[in-house]
Each structure stands twice: as C-alpha cells, then as structure tokens.
Structure 1
Amino acid sequence: MALPGSLIQLLPTHEEREGVDVLWQIPDEPRAVLFIAHAGNGNPGTYWDHHPHYLHSYIGLQEHKLIVRYALSRSYAVIAVKSVKDYWQDWPPEASQDAINVKLILNAWLSEHGLQDLPLTGLGAASGGNFLSVLALTVKFSAIVVMISHGVTRSFEKSDGTYPPTLFIHMPKDTFTSRKVAGEIETLRSKGIPAKSIACSEFPVYPQAFVDHAPGLSFESAAKIYLKMITEGVISSQGLVIDSLRPSKVGNLLQSLDILPATANDELNVMRMKEWEENISHLLRVAEARHAVTGRHCEEMFDWLDGKM
C-alpha cells in the first residue's frame, strides 16, 4: 500500500475540549483544513500512531492513518473530535450535543491557529458520515466526504445552494447503503449541489498486506498468517476474504502461530498483539468491501476536495 508523505510523522496534539478528546496536527504552511468525524464506537486516536500523550486504548489503524498521511502531504491541517457517546447525535441538529461541541471546538481551534480563513472540508465515516451530513447544514464547509454511509436524508432534503459539494465513498456489497447513496446524489444534484460517489470493490490479500498493516510483523510471519487463514477458511486460495474475523478471533489465530518475538517483554507483546489484531481485522473488512473505513481512494478523494475549494 503506497504511503504518500510516509516520512511525515503522525504526532498529534491531544487536548480535552468541551469534555471530549480532540486530536489535531498542522503541517507547515497549511492551505486547507480537514475535520474528521470517526465511525460509531470509534475514536479519533485511530487516525494517528500510538502516542503517550493520549489514551493507551487508542490503537492507530493503518487504513485510517493513510487518510491523515494524505491530508498532511497535501498541506491540510487535520482535526478529529470524539463523539459524546458511542454514536454521533445527528438529528435534529439543534438538539445534538455533538453539533454544539464541534462548532465550539472548531471555531476556537481555527481562530487560535490562524486557520479561520482557510477552506474547511469534512470527512465522516458511518455514524460520523450521518453526523457530518447534518452538521453541513449550519457549518460552512467547502466540501464534505460521507464514507460508508448514505448520510441523513432529511439534511439533503433541507439543503439549499449553500450546502457543500458532497462525495460518497461506499461499498456496493452493502446494497442498502448503495441504493440510498444513489437517491441522495439525485436529491443533491436536483438542487444544483455537486455530488458523486466512489465505489470500493473487494480485493485479494497476500502476505505483504499483513506486513503493511501490522507494524513490526516479518514477512515470514505474514506468510504463516496467510496460510493459516486459507486453512481455516478465512480467505480463499486466491486471497479473497470469506470471513472477516473480529479482532478477538484474529488474536486467537495469531496466538496459535507463536509469532511474537521472544525478546520483547510481556507488556510490549500485549500492545503489539493488540495492534496486530485490530489492524489485521480491519484489513480483512476493507478487503471484503462490505463496511469499513478505507484509505484506498485517498488520491481520488483529495483530488475531488482540492477541486471544490
């Protein structure tokens, strides 16, 4: 997996504002801002490398981090905010504590860092995509990306000429969402609002993909994982995902292979195993192409955002 800006260190600043976690990183000479609304049951820490300044439970996911790498490499300042509860409160917007929080946080943060005159863009995934589609009614975004979500229909019906251009990134195996996305695009276009979609297809996984997604994993160990997954019916002999395992089941599979380095102490092994479990499980979900945040269309996504600024 190509990593533009791979020399860029993912070292966010972590703050607590309005009672929720906020992570952000600003490149030299930023030219735009990207606000990220994480998926349900998620957190902003998955978009950056593990860092001692924020909670140990925040495990960075390679697909998520790829989005931030692209953003920083294209001189976007990035800010991600934690939802109040596990899922974002979206409709009605005036009753959403998340909307109140995000507006206060964004306004203060943009002003503090002299970014208030830059184009503001947004990316929302799943529950975060629903939230972002509603937030865009009252926050001036140059463009938004709604990922693995069809957004909130009522927000598109209520939209007018001030609503931002909207890009949907979805996975056609989720047939319900795909059908809804087509309808939402039609609604937006009927009002003269630019809208389009990018469909994410399934793809085979091979040992190198496990190396790319599990920091510190050797190719030899990745080959063992690959063969074990074929034997267990997790992937086909062609590498296509049959069963996208949850992290705990990935952990059971890894434990059976005895691939952790013998020289690492127990605490490091626990953290490494957790990181491998989460990232390999997420890779399987992305490869299955049913419902997972993906960074595989970042180039198209940021080209589109750039074009709307």
Structure 2
Amino acid sequence: MIAEGVYGAMAEIPAGYPPALFVHMPKDTERAGLVADSVRKLKAKRVDVREIQCDDFAVSAEFLAERVPGLTRAVADALVDVLRQKGFLDEKGFLKNDGRRTPWKKAVEDAKVLPEGFHLERHVTEELNVAYAYHEFTSLKNTEIFKWFESHMNH
C-alpha cells in the first residue's frame, strides 16, 4: 500500500479522469501538502476524489497484544509502562518520535520485561511505527479504503 505518487503530473488533468483516492499520513507534511494540492485540482475538474488520513494514536497494551503474535497482555502492559517511564510517550500516550527510531528495545531489555526467547522485536517496532503514523502504514484504514473501492466498482 505504498506509492510515491505522481504529483508533478497533476498539472494537466484530462477529461474523464477516473475517481481518485489518496491515503496518507498528515504527519508527513510534505506529502500532505502535495495531496491537498492534488485534491483541490481534481475537485476543480469535477473528479470524484477522496482523502483518507491515517493519524497517529496512543500506544496501548491492548493494541500491542492484539497486533503482535505471542505478546501477552501482561508483557504488553509492562512494555508500555517502560515506554512511559523512559519518556518515549507523551502525557497522552502518543509516541514522541518515530517508532523505528525510538530506542525501546534497550529500555525493555534493561527492565527485563520481555520473556526469554522473545524474538518479535521487529514486530513491536513496526507496530510502534503504525501508532506514530509517519508514513507507509495504512492497514488500520483498510475497511474504509475497500469500501471506497467497492463504491466505485460500477463507475
């Protein structure tokens, strides 16, 4: 679900341009600006266009335990506690930095919260990246995305 886009090609929008869907993370301000400009141009040409924004959300034990196979709720609770204690989360539970750049692994190793033999650190990192919503991950909006496509199947 990753696409760079062809924003420069939007200067000339031909008649009969098909419906367009933009799914992006507004935290990526450069891309958000390009999307907004493209949406405006397409609407001016009466193209059916929709924008779905994938925003960040607070990190929770429920989310991590549900999304990371083999991560129990108890371990997820401990992991989120370490994230809070180390200052990786703000007062509302949102990651302060990109999940891929947060040194959470060292912090949980020091706190000894992961069970012996736990080898899913990469999965936890990716889910933290989803929560941070900087780029690439749009899977939490799949239902909305697929409904949009289904609504355009006969067009």
Asked whether 1:212 is paired with 2:56, we answer no
Look up the match of 2:141: 297
Aligned counterparts of 2:101 and 2:134: Cα–Cα separation in 1: 17
Match of 2:132 among 288, 294, 299: 288
CA apart distance, 1:222: 0.8
Structure 1 204/221 Cα, relative in aligned 2: closer, same or farther at 3 Å?
Answer: same
Distance apart, 1:195 and its partner CA = 1.3
Could you tell me which residue of structure 2 aligns to residue 226 of structure 1?
80
Is the Cα–Cα contact under 8 Å of residues 174 and 290 in structure 1 kept in the other structure? Answer: yes
The one-letter amino acid of 1:182's match is A
**Does the CA contact (< 8 Å) of 1:234 and 1:245 recur in 2?**
no
* One-letter identity of the residue aligned with 1:178: A
Q: Distance in 1 between matches of 2:130 and 2:47?
A: 29
- 2:125 corresponds to which letter in structure 1? S
One-letter amino acid matched to 2:51: S
Matched ranges for 1:48-197 at <5 A: 124-125=1-2, 129-130=3-4, 151-161=5-15, 163-197=17-51
How many angstroms apart in 2 are the aligned matches of 1:260 and 1:167?
A: 42
- Listed one character per residue, the Cα deviations across residues 28-69 of structure 1 (whole Å, up to 9, x for unaligned) are xxxxxxxxxxxxxxxxxxxxxxxxxxxxxxxxxxxxxxxxxx
Q: Secondary structure at the match of 1:198?
A: strand
Q: TM-score, normalised by structure 2?
A: 0.82
Q: CA deviation at 1:181?
A: 0.7
Q: How much has 1:178 moved relative to structure 2?
A: 1.4
Map of 1:260 onto structure 2 = 115
- How far apart are 1:158 and its partner, in Å? 4.7
Contact 2:79/2:113, CA 8 A, preserved across alignment: no
Q: Is the 8 A contact 2:82 2:108 kept in 1?
A: no
Of the candidates 233, 249, 253, which is equivalent to residue 103 of structure 2? 249
Contact conserved, 1:235 with 1:241, CA < 8 A, in 2? yes
| C-alpha separation in 2, matches of 1:182 and 1:202 | 19
C-alpha separation in 2, matches of 1:277 and 1:164: 42
Take 1:192 and 1:236, find their aligned partners in 2: how far apart are those partners?
42
8 Å CA contact 1:210, 1:280 repeated in 2: yes
Contact 1:206 1:226 (C-alpha < 8 Å) held by counterparts: yes
Q: Displacement of 1:306 after TM fit?
A: 0.4
1:237 positional shift: 4.1
How far did residue 307 of structure 1 move?
0.8
Unaligned runs of 5+ in 2: none
**Aligned residue-pair number:** 152
| Bigger relative contact order, structure 1 or 2 (CA pairs below 8 A, ≥6 apart) | 2
CA RMSD, 1 decimal? 2.4
What is the distance in 1 between the residues matched to 2:34 and 2:73? 41
1:244·1:281 contact (CA, 8 Å) conserved in 2?
A: no
Q: Distance in 1 between matches of 2:80 and 2:113?
A: 14
- CA shift at 1:163, angstroms? 4.0
- List aligned pairs for 1:192-203, cutoff 5 A: 192-203=46-57
Asked if structure 1 preserves the Cα contact closer than 8 Å seen for 2:79 and 2:108, the reply is yes
Distance 1:168 1:305 in 2: 12
* TM-score normalised over the length of structure 1: 0.44
> Deviation above 6 Å: which 4+ runs of structure 1?
none
CA distance in 2, matches of 1:280, 1:238: 20
